[in-house]
Amino acid sequence: MNEPCRIKQEEEEEPRDLKGENKESEEIAEAEEKHDVKSVIKSLSHSPKRKAKKSFTCSQCGKRFSYKQSLKIHMRVHSKERPFTCDQCGTSFALKGSLKHHMKIHTGEKPYTCDQCGQSFTHVSTLKLHVHSHSGERPYKCDQCGKRFIRIGSLRTHLKVHTKEKPYVCSLCGKSFSQTGALNTHQIRHSGVKNHMCFECGKSFIRDAELKQHQKTHTGEKPYKCSHCDKSFSQTGHRKIHERIHTGEKPYTCDQCGKSFTHPNTLRLHLLSHSGERRYNCDQCDKTFVKAVCLKSHQKVHLKEKPYKCSLCERGFTQVSALKSHQKRHSGVKDYMCFECGKTFITNAELKLHQRTHTGEKPYQCSHCDRRFSWLASLKIHERSHTERSRTPALRVGRALVN
């Protein structure tokens, strides 16, 4: 979730009319409720009479504000005060407007529609980013290296690459930064707090940059094109990994059997096939899993409540993310690609199953013999051979008695 209200203020701002202080507070509260930063700025600077000093200082970080209400809003960043709570899932927010946007995730409301492709979004800012994916427009250019960006925030982040001076040092790990804001963001990673939330799906992130990267999954923005084929990617790292399919490069090698892989995650999963380690146990049944995400996915089987319904087939789901994955099956969109062979899948679960063909992972062991299988269906078919063999002698005896 974004910080409650990061207001860009000029060095000097117009002062409040002291007689109209209550009126101004009401205007700020109204703008805050709408979650409209521009409205907040307008509310804070409505008097054109004379310039004002920033006389309200944050005791925690030293940031200065012209108005007491601005400081109050800012203090929620430090106090972690989140007075507005969702009555459906319990997630709390610093601003009432943030809660209102979040509620659209539960209601399914997507009022902002792209007039070029018909795709709808919960938030107007997500729609604006999506529109760039049609035009290919990248209006913000770095004057030092020529690289172009869709968002001015992305350009500002990039410019740090060219900055040499890093005077702000983290007291916990010693890492240095060129800006105090970057240091503050880094220190949040130590705390584990995830303040940046995607209003399209509700997923939260530690850094704004991580949120922006994630939002590309909703906007469809894929600026990084493969130099060997027509595939495009939302992240440059994904493109580099994909291009190894064309070059044949497999830099990650298993030190136990010598098998090589394109992606480090595939190697990690492969190593589990040697150890046989399955660390994640379901507390409701006897099943065990190699990865925590597989256990979480499995645990949905034990949940009865399925509040999220598909509008096309009425199938119910326990989580909104599961509903969205299911709806892709109707559309036929295959967003999940195997970086080992380039094959694509509709759901992440299908991709994970497919990856076992590369890793050699065989989590399903026969209860009658030592054979193991990559898929549960294969195990069930195999186990029938044991049950059929055990029944065959009895059938022969039965037939002999009848005859």
Domain end, chosen from 47, 74, 109, is at: 109
For residue 238, count CB atoms less than 10 angstroms from its CB and return exposed for 0-12, middle for 13-18, buried for 19 or more.
middle
d(CA 366, CA 382): 8
For residue 157, what are the CA distances in angstroms to 8, 75, 186, 306, 324?
Answer: 17, 25, 13, 41, 31
In a domain, 104, yes or no: yes
The values of phi and psi at residue 232, to 5°, are -120, 155
For residue 35, what are the CA distances in angstroms to 286, 304, 321, 371?
Answer: 47, 36, 25, 59
In a domain, 302, yes or no: no
d(CA 154, CA 223): 13
Residue closest to 363 by CA, chosen among 299, 302, 295:
295
SS3 labels along 293-313: HHHHHHHHHHCCCCCEECCCC
Question: Do 121 and 110 contact (CB within 8 A), yes or no?
Answer: yes
Partners of residue 225 on adjacent β-strands:
232
Listed in sequence order, the residues at least 6 apart from 166 whose beta carbon sits closer than 8 Å to its beta carbon are 176, 177, 178
SS3 205: strand
Number of separate domains in the chain:
3
Domain end, chosen from 94, 109, 124, is at: 109
d(CA 22, CA 2): 27
The pLDDT tens digits of the residues spanning 276-286 come to: 666 778 888 77
Q: What is the pTM of this model?
A: 0.34
* Type of residue numbered 134: H
CATH number at residue 357: 3.30.160.60
pLDDT for residue 278: 62
Question: Do 348 and 325 contact (CB within 8 A), yes or no?
Answer: yes
Partners of residue 372 on adjacent β-strands:
365
d(CA 360, CA 271): 9
d(CA 286, CA 85): 36
Q: Specify the DSSP class assigned to residue 228.
A: S
In a domain, 36, yes or no: no
In a domain, 35, yes or no: no
d(CA 301, CA 294): 12
Domain range for 369 is 334-384
Domain end, chosen from 109, 130, 149, is at: 109
In a domain, 73, yes or no: yes
The pLDDT tens digits of the residues spanning 279-336 come to: 778 888 777 777 777 787 777 777 767 778 888 888 888 777 778 778 877 877 777 7
In a domain, 349, yes or no: yes
Residue ranges of the chain whose pLDDT lies below 70:
1-52, 136, 163-165, 276-278, 304, 390-403
In a domain, 355, yes or no: yes
The pLDDT tens digits of the residues spanning 112-150 come to: 888 888 888 877 877 887 787 777 677 888 888 878 887
